Amino acid sequence: MMSAKVYPAQSFNYKSDAIAADKSISHRCALFAVLAEGESKIENFLRAEDTLNTLKIIGQLGAEIRDNGSVITIRSNGIHETSEILDCGNSGTGMRLFCGLLSSAEGHFILTGDEYLKRRPMKRVTQPLRAIGAKLDGRENGDLAPLSIRGASLKAFNYESKVASAQVKSAMILAALRSDGVCTFREPELSRDHTERMLVGMGAHIERNALETKIWPLEKLLTPLSIRVPADPSSAFFFAVAAAITPNSSMIIEGVTLNPTRIEAFKVLERMGADIRYDLISEKYEPIGNITVKYAPLKAVVVSENIAWLIDELPALSIAMACAEGKSSIRNAQELRVKESDRIKTVVDNLNLCGIITEEYPDGYCVMGGKLHSAIVNSHGDHRIAMSFCIAGLRCGMDVEDIECINTSFPNFFELLTQCTKVKL
Ligand code: S3P
């Protein structure tokens, strides 16, 4: 098990175009290329464990993949049965989206993952997919991986999801594209919408109206993707918090998606007092631009809305809350319990170890801003917990144990952290 020792940082002013590429969009590039006729060209694909696993799986299913080091080219050959077990590693997105894609493919497929993924709930996709004819199974009546899928013909649906989850929505959209009629998917709150944007860009007939998405079955294969994957706002956010809690510091994050369903955490940091600017530069599939974050003394905030738009940033936001004046709270975030770790528990326990007073709720927690103390904390195998507490270390010094998981989403995290803050590790 590897650990990192992070030392307190001096002020810094840094500009980076090297933040990890967007994980959600990279997964989708690989998966959606399978539905296209011709060659998809993907620049800046995220070369991290989660997304490389997805890429490997589409290769195992028959796609031809070429990689010249900067552009990945994918040519689909349809989906073929394989003798290999398809290993999604740590990725819930990979596993849930493959459930949607493979439910209608000809053949039998086995999806598995690492010890953490095998504990995460899959019923949220297996149940609605089974209801339209998919033949999916797994432990605990289809809730836990390994999952087995035998492709079947799928019926058109009208489904109302109880969770605001882009993974559920995307799995159902993928199923809808190969079902026997027009389908409707409704969600309680808008979740990230990369799937809809990208598939519409590839020629799929999808209509969106507030929380309702209508999907028409594909009449022909899609137009291949031609995309440069933007930087991941969830990865960028660690550096946004670093600048926001380090006096006289600033950070410019270049080429990041400015999709409103992804930058809500920056808006909350702004409400806390940080000085943040958004500059739109281009738009293809997604709005893309730069985000500038400057230090300012932070004040407490209550976060209880648009939770799906900042769910992945809540651990890092909690570090900003610990450095703010007053009592902050996060509510309606019960989804945190079923992420790569139970993030309500892992955030609260680790903040307590750093001397911060917290209170745990079933659907969130509160954080009393105070003085962070150096501590030995553990990531519990969760990349976002590991990176959040490294950022806390910029204030007070920190030993973070079990940091290998950072490779699932942000392999150059420490390189950037040392370059930007000049902090020793
Ligand atoms: C993701 C959706 C979110 C997010 C995850 C990535 C995606 O999960 O937390 O990191 O790419 O669709 P849910 O769909 O479970 O909300």
Full set of structural domains in the chain with CATH = 3-18+231-421 (3.65.10.10), 23-228 (3.65.10.10)
335 CA → ligand 1 middle, Å: 10
> pTM, whole model, 2 decimals?
0.98
Q: Which of 109, 93, 86 is CA-nearest to residue 51?
A: 93
Residue 423 has pLDDT above 90, yes or no: no
Return the residue whose CA atom lies nearest to atom 5 of ligand 1.
Answer: 93
What is the residue-averaged pLDDT of the chain?
97
Q: What single letter denotes the amino acid at residue 93?
A: T
Beta strand extents in 107-260 (DSSP E only): 108-112, 135-138, 144-150, 158-160, 183-186, 206-209, 212-215, 226-228, 250-257
3-state helix, strand, coil in the chain (%, to 5): 35, 25, 40
Q: What's the pLDDT band for 424 if we cut at 50, 70, 90?
A: low
pLDDT of residue 422: 76
| Ligand 1 atom with the shortest distance to the CA of 164 | 16
| Ligand 1 atom with the shortest distance to the CA of 311 | 9
Mutate to test the pocket of ligand 1, among 46, 191, 307 (most ligand atoms within 8 A of CB): 191
Across residues 344-361, what is the average pLDDT? 98
Tokens of 210: 């507030």
Give the integer Cα–Cα distance in Å for 293 and 322.
18
Residue 302 has pLDDT above 70, yes or no: yes
Residues with CB under 6 A from ligand 1: 24, 93, 165-167, 170, 191-192, 308, 311-312, 335
For 290, phi and psi rounded to 5 degrees?
-115, 150
Q: In this predicted model, what pLDDT tens digit does every residue of 168-223 receive, in sequence order? A: 999 999 999 999 999 999 999 999 999 999 999 999 999 999 999 999 999 999 99
Across residues 350-373, what is the average pLDDT? 98
371 CA → ligand 1 middle, Å: 32
pLDDT of residue 104: 98
Give the integer Cα–Cα distance in Å for 163 and 169.
9
Q: What single letter denotes the amino acid at residue 244?
A: A
Q: Examine residue 121 and say whether the peptide bond preceding it is cis (omega within 30 degrees of 0).
A: no
What percent of the chain has pLDDT above 70? 100
Q: In this predicted model, what pLDDT tens digit does every residue of 51-108 receive, in sequence order? A: 999 999 999 999 999 999 999 999 999 999 999 999 999 999 999 999 999 999 999 9
Mutate to test the pocket of ligand 1, among 32, 161, 165, 193 (most ligand atoms within 8 A of CB): 165
Q: Which of 106, 121, 225, 132 is CA-nearest to residue 185?
A: 132
pLDDT of residue 421: 86
What percent of the chain has pLDDT above 90? 98
Active site residues: 312
Across residues 258-278, what is the average pLDDT? 98
Give the integer Cα–Cα distance in Å for 96 and 172.
10
- Per this entry, what is the length of the chain? 425
Q: What's the pLDDT band for 22 if we cut at 50, 70, 90?
A: very high
Is the CB of residue 96 less than 8 Å from the CB of residue 171?
yes
- Which residues neighbour 140 within 8 Å (Cβ) at sequence distance 6 or greater? none
Q: Which DSSP helix (H) or strand (E) runs through 275? A: strand 275-284
